[in-house]
Amino acid sequence: MRYGELQQELKEYVESKDATIGVAVVIDGVDRVEVNGDREFPMLSVYKFPIALALAEHYRQNKLPFDFPIAILPEDLHTDTYSPMTEKILSSSRVQTDTLMMPTGELLSYMLQLSDNNASDIVLQGLGGAQYVEDYLGRIGVVDVHVCNSEAEMHRAPSLCYANSATPEGMASLMDIFGREFNDSLSIEIKHLMSTCETGAGRLPKPLACTDAVVCHKTGTGFTLPDGRLMAVNDAGYVSLPDGRAYSIAVFIENSGYDMAQTEAIIAEISGMVYGAVSSR
């Protein structure tokens, strides 16, 4: 195994932590490294990434650009969830109309860069619901990534957060396919949005901030459990190195006994281990 040392280093590191941690890495589409890679974890907002890919596929099939307008109705603007888009709309005169039209690219920006819950649900609703995304993932051969419920449904029944699940191997494989094989104009726009993601700077991107690597990633963050532990803190992405090599990585942390900053630091440390092992070859 070419990356046997990395495999052992990650295994020992993960086992030393007071949390359930899954890691999967796909290097240049060939080499694979994983720890708890086949275990299911709640994706949380990482699931907005496959939703965006399914939307892009729908637009390709219908020959639509990302400046195509999407209708936003007043009932789409839930105020009891995380939604910078809703805050901006409600504070402006745009809300005076019964129906607001927003370019698809702007919705995706809120959804992927800021992890906006209402933007995600509007996109999912436009696709006809979660089953469309599930079917799309099946068509491209991705298993162990499951989109089952909307953000609104998870808000009403938090236990549904566990249904929107993925294994680290499944998510790393999806990131690998996206990074290497999807290079049409819509995919390039998604890659740009993910490379300028405003959430999770202390996670996967942190140890690569002073390098020339490009990190496209999507975060997911859960709630605090009754016993004070963190339900889940996640990050998954695709890293392009200056020499043309690349790798995908998924780090899922469930039931963390640490605070948010410490849990994010675990993801950053794992990211640094992987970057060091890949870039040194």
Tell me what percent of the residues of the chain surpass a pLDDT of 70.
98
In whole angstroms, what is the distance from residue 5 CA to residue 190 CA? 33
Burial class (CB in 10 A: 0-12, 13-18, 19+), 133: buried
Cβ neighbour number for residue 279 with a 10 Å cutoff: 16
Tell me whether residue 45 is one of the annotated catalytic residues. yes
Across the chain, mean pLDDT equals 95
Q: CA of 254: how far to CAs of 37, 42, 116, 160, 174, in Å?
A: 13, 8, 22, 15, 20
**Which residues is 25 bridged to in the sheet?**
33, 249
Distance of CA 50 to the CA centre of its chain: 8
What are the tokens at 194? 């993910």
Residue 91 has pLDDT above 70, yes or no: yes
- pLDDT, residue 94, reads 58
Query: Where residue 97 falls among pLDDT bands split at 50, 70, 90?
Result: low
And the tokens for 237?
């992405």
Question: Longest Cα pair distance anywhere in the chain, in angstroms?
Answer: 61
Length of the chain equals 281
**Residues 6+ positions from 253 with CB-CB distance below 8 Å:** 19, 20, 21, 22, 230, 232, 233, 234, 263, 266, 267
Question: Which residue from 191, 185, 203, 195 is spatially nearest to 251, judged by alpha carbons?
Answer: 203
Q: What is the mean pLDDT of residues 45-65?
A: 97
151, exposed or middle or buried, with CB in 10 Å at 0-12, 13-18, 19+? buried
Of 16, 45, 109, 185, catalytic: 45
Q: For residue 195, give every residue at least 6 positions away whose Cβ sits within 8 Å of its Cβ, in sequence order, or none.
A: 214, 215, 216
In this predicted structure, the answer to whether residue 244 has a pLDDT above a threshold of 90 is yes
Residue 90 in this model has a pLDDT that exceeds 70: yes
Is residue 116 within 8 A of residue 89, CB to CB? The reply is no
